Amino acid sequence: MSTKLNRIAELARKMPGVELRTLAHHIDMDWLREAYAQTRKDGVPGIDDVTAEEYERNLKANLTGLLDQFKSGTYWAPPVRRAYIEKADGGKRRLGIPTFEDKVLQRAVTMVLGAVYEQDFLPASYGYRPKIGALHALRDLRKALMEMGGGWVLEADITSFFDSMVHSHLRSFLDQRVRDGVIRRTIDKWLKAGVMEEGRVRYPEDGSPQGGVISPMLANIYLHEVLDVWFEQVVRPRLRGQARLIRYADDFVICFEREDDARRIWDVLPKRFAKHGLTLHPDKTRLLHYEKPDSKSDKRPTFDFLGFTHYWALSRSGHWVIKRRTIAKRLARKLHEIWLWCKTHRHDPLRLQWERLTSRLLGYYNYFGITCNLEALEQLFRGVRLAWHYWLSRRSQRAHIPWEQFEELEQRLPLPRPRIVHSWV
How sure is the predictor about 321, in pLDDT bands with cuts at 50, 70 and 90?
A: very high
* Global pTM exceeds 0.75: yes
Q: 52 or 88: which carries more pLDDT confidence?
A: 52
Report the C-alpha gap between 262 and 267 in whole angstroms: 9
Closest CA to 258 of 137, 370, 151: 151
pLDDT digits (tens, 9 = 90+) for 225-271: 999 999 999 999 999 999 999 999 999 999 999 999 999 999 999 99
SS3 384: helix
Is the pLDDT at 342 greater than 80? The verdict is yes
SS3 304: strand
Report the C-alpha gap between 19 and 174 in whole angstroms: 9
- Mean pLDDT for 3-19 is 93
- Mean pLDDT for 115-137 is 95
Least confidently predicted of 125-139, 198-212, 289-303? 289-303
81 φ/ψ angles, rounded to the nearest 5 degrees: -85, 130
Q: For residue 167, what are the CA distances in angstroms to 14, 171, 191, 277?
A: 28, 6, 8, 10
Instruction: State residue 296's pLDDT score.
Output: 59
Rounded to 5°, the CA angle 314-315-321 comes to: 70
How sure is the predictor about 211, in pLDDT bands with cuts at 50, 70 and 90?
A: confident
How sure is the predictor about 400, in pLDDT bands with cuts at 50, 70 and 90?
A: confident
Q: In DSSP terms, which residues pair with 125 in a beta bridge?
A: 247
Extract the runs of DSSP E, i.e. beta strands, from 98-206: 152-157, 195-197, 200-202
Least confidently predicted of 58-72, 172-186, 285-299, 356-370? 285-299
pLDDT digits (tens, 9 = 90+) for 286-301: 999 998 887 656 678 9
How sure is the predictor about 94, in pLDDT bands with cuts at 50, 70 and 90?
A: confident
How sure is the predictor about 316, in pLDDT bands with cuts at 50, 70 and 90?
A: confident
How sure is the predictor about 425, in pLDDT bands with cuts at 50, 70 and 90?
A: low
Mean pLDDT of the chain: 94
370 φ/ψ angles, rounded to the nearest 5 degrees: -110, 160
Instruction: State residue 244's pLDDT score.
Output: 97
Is the pLDDT at 187 greater than 70? The verdict is yes
pLDDT digits (tens, 9 = 90+) for 24-79: 999 999 999 999 999 999 988 999 999 999 999 999 999 999 999 999 999 999 99
Report the C-alpha gap between 353 and 349 in whole angstroms: 6
Report the C-alpha gap between 22 and 18 in whole angstroms: 12
Is the pLDDT at 139 greater than 70? The verdict is yes
How would you label 362-387 residue by residue, b for 16+ Cβ within 10 Å and e otherwise? Answer: eebbebbbbebbeebbebbbebbbeb
